[in-house]
Structure 1
Amino acid sequence: MNPKSNFILFSFLCLGLFLSGCQEVLQVREIKMGHALVTSHPVHEAMVFLAKRVEEKSDGKLQIKVYPNQQLGTERELLELLQIGSLGMTKVSAAALEGFAPTMQVFGMPYLFRDDAHQKRVLDGPIGKQLLLDPEKYWLRGLCYYDGGKRSFYSKEKPIESPADLKGLKIRVMESNMATNMVRAMGGSPTPVAYGELYSALQQGIVDGAENNPPSLYTSKHYEICKFYSIDEHTVLPDVVLISTKVWESLSDEEQRWVQEAADESSELQYKIWAESTENSLRALEKAGVQISYPDKSKFREGVSSMYEQMKIEQPEIYKIIEAIQGVD
């Protein structure tokens, strides 16, 4: 074989290897995952872990890229992007799902769970699993729960020791009918503000206070403005990791297994991280000069009792879920 023929053969071999390499590259699939929290938040760490486990399980063939801090939109906007398949995954508070999946309203009921163990039994059991799948009819599939902590009031001017202290105060709430009804039932003035805009809203006096869990109060730096934190723990809202049904249905059975397994593993990790973060955040808040108090919860429970009666009359199907949750031993 002459040199020219050798060169042509070598060129074809190189081309073949190049095309083979391109095929391998083309086989890599990326899913975008957006959320509203800052990168220092413990929930973000769990999502990064989820992405890492998917990449490991798939040998790099399936990858998840996490976009934090509302880079891709607010929680509501992220859910809308999931519905049309423009975004693959997200993590939102259960409260943000109320307008998309009605049964998720149940989590917004104040003082729904007796304690942490009761909540975990509900979420890990048949009721929790069914609630994850209920949004499928709205093109949203729940994969797992993250611990969203216990929400309590924080304020600028005075501690909130009872519902009476909320009178005349504008309290930031999520875009949630349940949160709005709760603050109103306690005597406050509920004011919806996007989480990413809350710091400036507190600064400018648009709102007088807000309600959230210790890690969120600390990582958001709202404590720089609000020096009173009243641990009444009125709601225990889980976070929900979701995938667009359009994206989910486009995955093979194996790819779906990788994603679900990684989500479940990230949930286990997140619960551990959250417990540590809550303790560390409370210590850091005290060190930063925040006055932390533990008011009598019975007064707050009394303040929202009307919400249960209203739910029983107006939304009996949701009330049945509430009764089922309360009946879990």
Structure 2
Amino acid sequence: MNYKLILIAILFASIISCEKVDDTKMLYLAHGLPQTHPVHKGILEFKKALEIKSGGTLKVKIFPDAQLGSEREVLELLQIGSVAATKVSAATLSNFVPEYHILGIPYLFRDKQHQFDVLEGPIGKSILEKGSKFWLRGLCYYDAGSRSFYTSTKAIRTPEDLKGLKIRVMNNQMAINMVNSMGGSATPLAYGELYTAIQQGVVDGAENNPPSFVSSNHYEISKYYTLDQHSSVPDVLLIGTKYWDKLSDEEKIWVQEAADESAQAEKVFWNNSVEESMKIAKEAGVEIIIPDKSLFAEKSKSVVEEFVKEHPEMASIVEQIKNQ
């Protein structure tokens, strides 16, 4: 653990020790998103619902904007019990809980309905529970949209159009393999460097969901947005088991119910954000392209095959999702 995490852990220990001893329990929830983000708005609904259900005996204090560190750092704080809860991408969580890798498989879900039928059903709940052995109990999934390609040099209408293009991806092996399988050149790059990289031609484009495409201002320099929706990796609301195990059975019910209600509210916030983002992009002159997604899915089949080969213990889960 690095010195930053140690200092934060000491700080929270001192805060907790100085709190007034009464019937109130404080739940510290940290995440890396800005307060304008639809997922943050969903978290506010969690806070409101939990405080109402508990009659004020469970209170939530939110630390947004990465105040307490990166997603990985906050996950480590959960594991040692310095922070109670967080929201992270399933992609980040997969480095702690292997089963979350499944949710990053390209074209795993047929559409949004299929995705949440899976996530909110037995399969999704089973994956949430897998994290408990790593001290990271999943409560619910938040909609984080679908990632699609955007470029500054030319439009992508078929997978063949990706050939020769340098596409920025997260430093995630599945994302790298997916772009390469379609003929592109996957280029891992820090998100904060991406605007300049596109502007200077270091990369030809990237991939992300509409709200991120607009909030990052990438729409200003990338005038082609291809809605191939190759991956739909959700966000996950987590609670550390060190905090969870101290709750009474009734308190655990309140926390889970509040999480489930916030997940439904967050979907509405997300859809509204997507609509607004697409409107802004169109008005700025971005060409929105609706491709034949089956062509892209066919090209990326090798990524799925390789994943199943490397993780045979997860093959049955992948098959169940496809057949649901």
TM-score by length of structure 1 reads: 0.85
Q: Distance in 1 between matches of 2:24 and 2:196?
A: 41
Are 1:115 and 2:111 an aligned pair?
yes
Q: Distance in 2 between matches of 1:76 and 1:204?
A: 30
Are 1:179 and 2:175 an aligned pair?
yes
In structure 1, the partner of 2:322 is 326
Deviates more, 1:175-184 or 1:281-290: 175-184
1:249-264 to 2 correspondence within 5 Å? 249-264=245-260
1:83 to 79, 85, 91: 79
Shift of 1:76: 2.2
Distance 1:251 1:71, change over 3 A: same
Aligned structure 1 segments of 4 or more residues deviating by more than 6 angstroms: 22-25
Q: Distance in 2 between matches of 1:102 and 1:232?
A: 26
**C-alpha contact (below 8 Å) 2:106/2:304 kept by paired residues:** no
Deviates more, 1:133-142 or 1:175-184: 175-184
Shift of 1:24: 6.5
State the AA in 2 paired with 1:102.
Answer: P
Deviates more, 1:245-254 or 1:228-237: 245-254
1:32-71 to 2 correspondence within 5 Å? 32-71=28-67
In structure 1, the partner of 2:70 is 74
Shift of 1:265: 0.6
Q: Distance in 2 between matches of 1:23 and 1:81?
A: 19
**C-alpha contact (below 8 Å) 1:38/1:219 kept by paired residues:** no
- Compare CA radii of gyration and give the structure with the larger one: 1
Shift of 1:181: 1.7
Distance 1:242 1:302, change over 3 A: same
Q: Distance in 1 between matches of 2:21 and 2:199?
A: 49
Report SS of the residue matched to 2:48. Answer: helix
Report SS of the residue matched to 2:140. Answer: strand
TM-score by length of structure 2 reads: 0.86
Distance 1:320 1:181, change over 3 A: same
Distance 1:327 1:217, change over 3 A: same
Q: Distance in 1 between matches of 2:202 and 2:36?
A: 26
Shift of 1:266: 0.3
**C-alpha contact (below 8 Å) 2:225/2:287 kept by paired residues:** yes
State the AA in 2 paired with 1:280.
Answer: E
Report SS of the residue matched to 1:250. Answer: coil
CA RMSD of aligned residues (A): 2.2
State the AA in 2 paired with 1:271.
Answer: K
State the AA in 2 paired with 1:83.
Answer: Q
In structure 1, the partner of 2:145 is 149
Q: Can you give the 5+ residue segments of structure 1 that lack an aligned partner in the other structure?
A: 1-21
Q: Distance in 2 between matches of 1:68 and 1:313?
A: 39
Q: Distance in 2 between matches of 1:100 and 1:109?
A: 17
Shift of 1:53: 1.6
Are 1:104 and 2:108 an aligned pair?
no
Q: Distance in 2 between matches of 1:192 and 1:66?
A: 31
Are 1:277 and 2:273 an aligned pair?
yes
| Identity over aligned pairs, percent | 55
Q: Distance in 2 between matches of 1:171 and 1:72?
A: 30
Q: Distance in 2 between matches of 1:194 and 1:87?
A: 26
In structure 2, the partner of 1:160 is 156
Report SS of the residue matched to 2:237. Answer: strand
Report SS of the residue matched to 2:109. Answer: coil
Q: Distance in 2 between matches of 1:200 and 1:64?
A: 38
Q: Distance in 2 between matches of 1:125 and 1:279?
A: 27
**C-alpha contact (below 8 Å) 1:142/1:241 kept by paired residues:** yes
Q: Distance in 2 between matches of 1:251 and 1:178?
A: 37
State the AA in 2 paired with 1:39.
Answer: Q
Distance 1:139 1:23, change over 3 A: closer
In structure 2, the partner of 1:222 is 218
**What does the per-residue CA deviation read over 1:52-91, in whole Å, with 9 as the maximum and x for residues that have no partner?**
2222222322222222222222222222222222222111
**C-alpha contact (below 8 Å) 2:150/2:206 kept by paired residues:** yes
**C-alpha contact (below 8 Å) 2:151/2:224 kept by paired residues:** yes
Q: Distance in 2 between matches of 1:178 and 1:152?
A: 15
**C-alpha contact (below 8 Å) 2:140/2:260 kept by paired residues:** yes
